[in-house]
Structure 1
Amino acid sequence: MISVKNVLVALAVAFTAYLAARGLWWTAPVAYPLVVVATLGLYLATTWLCIFWEPARPEVEGEDEPHIGDPNRTRGRLPVPAQILALAAAVIVPSAISFGVGPASVTAGFATWYLGGIGALMTIVMVRRRPWTAWAGVAILTVGSMLWMGVPAALALGLVGSIVWVTCAQLLVGSLDRAARDTARLAQLQRAASAWQASQSGRQRERRVQVQHALAVAGPVLTRTVATGGRLTDDDRLEARLAEGRLRDEMRGPRLLDDEVRAELERARRRGANVTVLDEGGLEGLDEGSLSIIRAQLAEALRSASSDRLYIRTSPDARVAVTVVGRSPSVGGPSDEDGVDLWREIPHPGVA
């Protein structure tokens, strides 16, 4: 499969092989050819190892998700052993090549290839996100080449180009990292915007459903009220009060309601009880089966209730799902305050 990475790897291999091949194009006798050939082999082995060595990493769930501030920077980092080999090559290759070709040929073309070769190696190290190692290698190359061929010759024959390569590689890697961070941040903002839009759409649909339900419940009562000019009978007033209670229940505690619970709430109101239903959280994340169990227990509690005032509230407690409290006027008590004659805690399903 052809990809940008594969193309860059092929170019790096070809370029470093070309630089090393220049070291075999001897235009003059060399003092120690075996030293030169062995050094070329060391250079190629080290360079290609730095290109291809990908450390084994354990797979982590969710690792492919982008993270702001850390756009997979650890991926592709050069392992420490390869860094050590790269620095060793920066130390050994200039001296070994200069020694192998002899003092008379240290500035010849087949002897100065290492200026570009080590520069290319440190560029690879920089691309593999090891900047300190890359610049340390450049410093070693600078010192070694100047000691063997002198400052003017080293600068004129390729040292400046190697420094420029490494500098450009660092700027390019930094730009790519910033682009990756910006992309990750943009992706997170897009996900947040999509989630917000989805929640708004859900709320709009819920409001439309509630409006339609309100019209269905209150519409007949309002129609009769308008038709009679506000002169309602006792039965009409009762129906209006029941309609108001049903609307309040649908708006304040829709997750607590099913047909059985609605019927028990209406029965309690018809006998004159004042019923308050409030969903104050704690039921988020429950599946429909768990909600059905809670509703069934709530309907049972309401069926046996005879209090004048009923308060039904959800609970944020991890153990209790719904609390049902009933209050009625105390008979013969020391005060006129209502007394609690019903207290029922409905636990979450599966909680003892």
Structure 2
Amino acid sequence: MIRHSRALILAVASLFSLYHVLLGVYALDMPTDAAPVLAAMALYLVATFISLWPTSPTRMPLGLALFNLAACAVVPLLVATQLDPQDDLGYSTWYVAAVGTLLTITATRKRPFVAWLGAGFLVVHTVLWAGFGSLGSMGVIGSVVWVAAAVLLSRALAKAGRDARQFARAEREASRWQAAQEAHLYERQVRLTYTNRMALPMLRRIVGQNGVLADDEKLECRYLEAAIRDEIRGRRLLNDAVREQVMAARRRGAIVTLLDEGSIDELDGDVLEHVLNQLAAAIGRTSADKIIARTAADGSETAVTVVGLCSPDPSVSALGQDSSGDEVDLWLEIPRVRA
């Protein structure tokens, strides 16, 4: 998007506004009563100076817009009282262009309704004072065209700005979506590769033995199935140390459940490795029959919660059933930030 310096635009507008006053001074007939004309110039300069203040907001305050409207009504009245519409006025009608410039500034600063009111007053005053024929010769039509162009240009720029913001927002959303899809694809590929590496030897053994497996091989298949399930449900709760301790716990008869609900996705590097090492150590030192490791809720200071339960009836635990008499052997909350 092409951007222009606001200071440069304000400087050009100031010089253009000052040019009208210089024309008025050049056309000023000092033997006549110059006080109303000088007062009109002063009022116009004050209104222009405030309207072009560099630190003012883009949308003109309503009070300033109404002040400009009042100035655009007073200036023609002050100057016209010192002129004869039947004479060759020349640059004496400087106020028409000056009022048009001030109304253009008002319209550009997003006060189009006030600018149209000022343009309407200028047209009505000129018609009542000098007739319809003077609208073209005095430049009133040009001032109205300036206001109309400013209003249309302001609307077009505002619409272009809204469209640009929408396009930028859509581009950011598309980039995030693409990044998420690429991350999901990469994660799926990693999981599939790891699963294939784990399951392929056992699958070949099953094919080679025509599906006839010994009891220890069937048990190994159950361990393998549980490990594959961990890769799907555990996701970022797994590293080599956690996999080793989970398999050791299952081989001694414990039921291990890993649940990653996505609340530690922002952890990475040493921080995530520290959390997983603590999880592996906790699983390795407990003798619980049932171990559940689960990521904490979003916004929590805890990264992972680990619970170990001991069942007084080993047969119940072996069947994977809950018992109301389970005792807590392990309760650990692993923080997100290393102490």
Question: What TM-score does the superposition give when structure 2 sets the normalisation length?
Answer: 0.80
Partner of 2:309: 326
Structure 1: give runs of 5+ residues left out of the alignment.
57-74
Structure 1 residues 20 and 344, CA gap change in structure 2 (3 angstroms):
same
**Residue 54 (structure 2) pairs with residue 54 (structure 1):** yes
Contact map agreement 1:30 1:100 (CA 8 A) in 2: no
Partner of 1:113: 94
User: How far apart are 1:34 and its partner, in Å?
Assistant: 4.6
**Residue 35 (structure 2) pairs with residue 76 (structure 1):** no
Partner of 1:247: 228
| Paired residues, number | 329
- 1:263 pairs, out of 228, 236, 244, with 244
Q: For the aligned residues, what is the CA RMSD?
A: 3.6
User: How far apart are 1:138 and its partner, in Å?
Assistant: 2.4
Between the aligned partners of 2:259 and 2:136, the Cα distance in structure 1 is 81
SS in 1 for 2:328: strand
Contact map agreement 1:312 1:322 (CA 8 A) in 2: yes
**Residue 143 (structure 2) pairs with residue 162 (structure 1):** yes
Between the aligned partners of 2:87 and 2:243, the Cα distance in structure 1 is 97
Contact map agreement 1:330 1:337 (CA 8 A) in 2: no
Partner of 1:39: 40
User: How far apart are 1:4 and its partner, in Å?
Assistant: 7.0
Between the aligned partners of 1:238 and 1:273, the Cα distance in structure 2 is 13
Contact map agreement 1:105 1:111 (CA 8 A) in 2: no
Contact map agreement 2:278 2:334 (CA 8 A) in 1: no
Partner of 2:82: 100
Partner of 2:210: 229
Structure 1 residues 302 and 118, CA gap change in structure 2 (3 angstroms):
same
Partner of 1:64: none
Between the aligned partners of 2:195 and 2:141, the Cα distance in structure 1 is 80
Between the aligned partners of 2:315 and 2:289, the Cα distance in structure 1 is 17
Letter in 1 for 2:147: V
- 1:87-118: CA deviation from partner (whole Å, max 9, x where unpaired): 342133112212234x4667723332322220
Structure 1 residues 5 and 280, CA gap change in structure 2 (3 angstroms):
closer
Select between 110-119 and 154-163 the one with higher mean Cα deviation: 154-163
SS in 2 for 1:23: helix
Structure 2: give runs of 5+ residues left out of the alignment.
none
- 1:340 pairs, out of 326, 332, 339, with 326
